[in-house]
Amino acid sequence: FYTSNRLSRIDLASFKLHMKVHTDERPCFCEKCGKTFRRNDKLRLHMRTTHTGERPYLCTTCGNRFVNASKLKRHTRTHTDEKPHVCNTCGKRFIRLSRLTSHTRIHTGEKPYSCQICQKDFAYTTSLKVHMRVHTGEKGNAGVIDTHLLTECRFPELKMCISLKALSSQNTSSQQLKSTHISVNHQTPVWVQPRVSS
């Protein structure tokens, strides 16, 4: 921060607001739930998303409403096909910066999300969540195993993981189709395709 008699009020206000990050000062208080915020705009957003449901920002193209201007701006790009975020490697364009960040992992091979149980690494949080089903025994959508397990099973003796498509194409219930197999490499059961007797 520099001192100058040319420093505007806006610069000083921005600086004071920024300094709250370092002091953890949270003067804005939600009277409904007690949550605190550094800035009034964050409190207003919290009120809209958590308590009031107010959506004052209107899309003039389709009539959808949004809680803040940035969400409206991001939405309007779906109508204009504007994709301002560009991959430097392949040129693919994205509406959201977060999608570009995820996409670049295809090129870099970065896998920032790790399973705390088996230390396997993943590029996306969704892949990690699906993988965790191996450890928890949780089933995927509609009570069947997610297709991701088919490609993520890393043990060669378990090549016959059930895919979602295989189960959904059957008239039999998923419970009847599944059998469990406990490998020495697995601490919990892994769903495998039952052998059909001939």
Say if residue 123 is in the same domain as residue 182: yes
3-state helix, strand, coil in the chain (%, to 5): 40, 10, 45
End-to-end, the C-alpha distance of the chain in Å comes to: 79
Is position 4 within any domain?
A: no
What confidence tens digit (pLDDT) does each residue in 106-162 have?
999 999 999 988 899 999 888 898 888 888 877 765 433 443 343 444 444 333 333
Q: Is residue 189 very low, low, confident or very high in pLDDT (cuts 50, 70, 90)?
A: very low
Is position 57 within any domain?
A: yes
pLDDT for res 61: 92
pLDDT for res 10: 63
Tokens of 49: 């998303």
Quote the domain boundaries for residue 36.
25-67
Is position 95 within any domain?
A: no
Query: Which of these three, 43, 67, 91, is where a domain ends?
Result: 67
- pTM of model > 0.75: no
Q: Residue 45 is which amino acid?
A: L
What confidence tens digit (pLDDT) does each residue in 45-70 have?
899 888 998 899 999 999 999 988 98
Tokens of 116: 């705390």
Tokens of 121: 């690494």
118/115 Cα distance (integer angstroms): 6
Query: 129 and 113 in contact (C-beta within 8 Å)?
Result: no
Query: 198 and 169 in contact (C-beta within 8 Å)?
Result: no
The number of domains in the chain is 2
Is position 166 within any domain?
A: yes
Least confident of 22-36, 101-115, 125-139, 164-178: 164-178
CATH of the domain at 62: 3.30.160.60
Say if residue 181 is in the same domain as residue 122: yes
Q: Residue 103 is which amino acid?
A: H
Alpha carbon separation from 192 to 157, 166, 181, 198 (Å, rounded): 10, 12, 7, 18
Percent of the chain with pLDDT over 90: 25
Output the CA angle 43-77-82, nearest 5 degrees. Answer: 135
Work out the mean pLDDT of the chain and round it to a whole number.
72
The DSSP symbol for 184 reads T
Is position 143 within any domain?
A: yes
Is position 16 within any domain?
A: no
Is position 90 within any domain?
A: no
Is position 145 within any domain?
A: yes
> Which of 6-20, 40-54, 128-142, 166-180 has the highest average model confidence (pLDDT)?
40-54
